[in-house]
Structure 1
Amino acid sequence: MASNDGAHALGRTGAPGTTGTGAAPDRLEVHHDDRDARRSGGVEHRESHKPAKTSAAAVFALVFGLAALLSVLTVILSPLGLVLGIIGIVLGIVGMKMAGRVGVTGKGVAIGGLVLSILAVLLAAVLAAGVTTFLNDEGAVDRLEQRIEDLRDDLPQDVEVPESVTP
């Protein structure tokens, strides 16, 4: 039978996890010596507590999704937003798969990037369809041209531009 020398050396005299005074232990001590672990019949467990890393793909998906959405909302940059959105969708899917690995986090970040990217792609597609439909409708183009001519006619004809003063 194993001796209790290891338990006494650790300050334990009673049941495991208790001190000789009967009070709850401040901390649980772990055997670090292989001989003590063999004597006590226990197995030494060492757990490393490395902080989990956020998936880079998930973070990039969020960045690309946000950039895509802002680009689409400016209307002029909507083709760029469409491309950024597609890249963000791919990165979001990769980020979600990577977040399933041990020690890797960022599933929520990947989902956020994926949602923003999908929204940007949908808005860009609707905008492209609307512009295409508008430009292919001859009546709409004629109304736009007429409106531009009306605005030109409303401009004052005799505007005096002051000369710049040169020193």
Structure 2
Amino acid sequence: MTASSEPARGAGVPTRAGRGGPAAKTSAAAAFALVFGVAALISVLTVILSWFGLILGIIGVILGIVGLKMAGRPGVTGRGVAIGGLVLSALAVLIGLAFAAGITTALNDEGAVDRIQREVDDLRDRLDN
């Protein structure tokens, strides 16, 4: 078989909505927003890495907004992906801020710190017995 008798690459592959133009591409910013949103939510929910998840969430929100704007261009898709990334990132930011506020409040309240210290001491005494 010669090169001239082989079908061209991409021949017969359906394009967006059956039109003859090139296939639409998903916005890279939208895809990264989704990736950052998932990573941020997982990080925030581990509590130990909530500060890292908060940073990832902020980056994800920015990328989600950029992805939404890029999805409005002709030949670019990814609006749903950008919205998903934006929602997950915003949720991660809200949970991260709630954890940070709760930890800050607990550490600044001397009574709460004393109660936690007593609980830790009680648990140590129970483990020793």
Q: TM-score, normalised on structure 1?
A: 0.64
Higher RCO by CA contacts (8 Å cutoff, separation 6 or greater): 2
Residue identity opposite 1:122 in structure 2: L
Segments of structure 2 that go 5 or more residues without pairing to the other structure are: 1-18
Alpha-carbon distance in structure 2 between the residues aligned to 1:91 and 1:51: 23
Alpha-carbon distance in structure 2 between the residues aligned to 1:111 and 1:67: 16
Rg larger for: 1
Alpha-carbon distance in structure 2 between the residues aligned to 1:64 and 1:107: 16
Alpha-carbon distance in structure 1 between the residues aligned to 2:51 and 2:120: 26
Could you list the per-position Cα deviations for residues 1-31 of structure 1 after superposition, in whole angstroms to 9, with x for gaps in the alignment?
xxxxxxxxxxxxxxxxxxxxxxxxxxxxxxx
Residue in structure 1 matched with residue 74 of structure 2 by the alignment: 102
Instruction: Tell me, yes or no, if structure 1 residue 154 matches structure 2 residue 126.
Output: yes
Runs of 4+ in 1 over 2 A off after TM superposition: none
Residue in structure 2 matched with residue 88 of structure 1 by the alignment: 60
Alpha-carbon distance in structure 2 between the residues aligned to 1:90 and 1:154: 49
Residue identity opposite 1:112 in structure 2: G
Residue in structure 1 matched with residue 108 of structure 2 by the alignment: 136
**How big is the alpha-carbon RMSD for the aligned residues of Structure 1 and Structure 2?**
1.2
Of 28, 51, 64, which residue of structure 2 is paired with 1:79?
51
Segments of structure 1 that go 5 or more residues without pairing to the other structure are: 1-46, 158-167
Instruction: Give the length in aligned residue pairs.
Output: 111
Shift of 1:115: 0.5
Shift of 1:136: 0.6
Residue identity opposite 1:106 in structure 2: G
Identity fraction in percent: 70
Alpha-carbon distance in structure 2 between the residues aligned to 1:61 and 1:121: 13
